[in-house]
Structure formats: C-alpha cells, structure tokens
C-alpha cells in the first residue's frame, strides 16, 4: 500500500523537471504568418534585404550574463586581526551574448528561419 502514493507522485516529479519549448519550436510558430505579426512579436528588424522575390528580416537579441572568473591573488585584505594575504574569489565578469535571427519571407509570409550566436537557446 505504501508503494501506491510513490507511484502517483513519480509523474508529478518528472513534470517538474520538464523544460519549456526549444527555440526551434518557438520560432516555428511564425512560419506561415505575415510580416506584420512577426514585427509585432519581435520588434523592428535591424536589417532588411530583398533578393530573388524573397525578403530577409534580421533581428538581433543581446543579453548580459555573469561569467565566473578564476581566483586571483589580491593584495592585503584586512580582517578582524589585521592584514591577511591569499586567494580571494574574483567578482563575476559580465559578458554580452547575442543571437541573430533571420526570417525569410515570400509573398509577405514567413517561409523559413535561421539563427546563430551564443545567446540562442
């Protein structure tokens, strides 16, 4: 009888570990939609190019992330008993990561998309 509550709880625990939709899944919702829907959702594109009956819209997303640095040897630090020397954890550095999204439109409808960059995900 004790096994029954554990079996009922297992699926709930697995659902708690579930991740959200991938970038491909999120972007695929735009395929077939119009240019106005795309701009309304992502903002104004940074670049627009037209070639061979297609229109290419490029969007850029940038965000700052904290990056751990290796410990560094610092000068004296003053504690309650005077100066002390040694390794102290370095403050985290801030790095900027970006993602470039490119949508291909034909007849004002999204046909395909591609992305590149470390910040895509």
pLDDT digits (tens, 9 = 90+) for 33-87: 999 999 999 999 999 999 999 999 999 999 998 888 765 555 556 556 666 555 5
Do 89 and 71 form a contact (C-beta atoms < 8 A)? yes
DSSP, res 92? P
Query: What burial class does residue 33 get, using C-beta atoms within 10 Å of its C-beta: 0-12 exposed, 13-18 middle, 19+ buried?
Result: middle
3 or 89, higher pLDDT: 89
| pTM of the model as a whole | 0.66
Q: Report the pLDDT value the prediction gives residue 119, as an integer from 0 to 100.
A: 87
Is the pLDDT score of 15 beyond 90? no
Residue 104 has pLDDT above 50, yes or no: yes
């Amino acid at each position: 009888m004790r096994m029954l509550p554990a079996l009922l709880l297992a699926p709930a625990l697995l659902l708690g570990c579930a991740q959200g939709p991938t970038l491909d899944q999120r972007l695929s919702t735009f395929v077939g939609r119009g240019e106005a829907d795309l701009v309304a959702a992502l903002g104004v594109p940074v670049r627009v190019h037209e070639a061979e009956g297609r229109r290419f819209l490029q969007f850029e997303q940038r965000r700052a992330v904290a990056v751990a640095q290796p410990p560094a040897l610092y000068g004296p630090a003053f504690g309650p008993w005077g100066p002390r020397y040694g390794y102290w954890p370095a403050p985290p550095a801030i790095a900027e990561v970006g993602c470039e999204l490119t949508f291909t439109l034909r007849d004002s409808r999204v046909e395909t998309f591609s992305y590149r960059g470390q910040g895509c995900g």
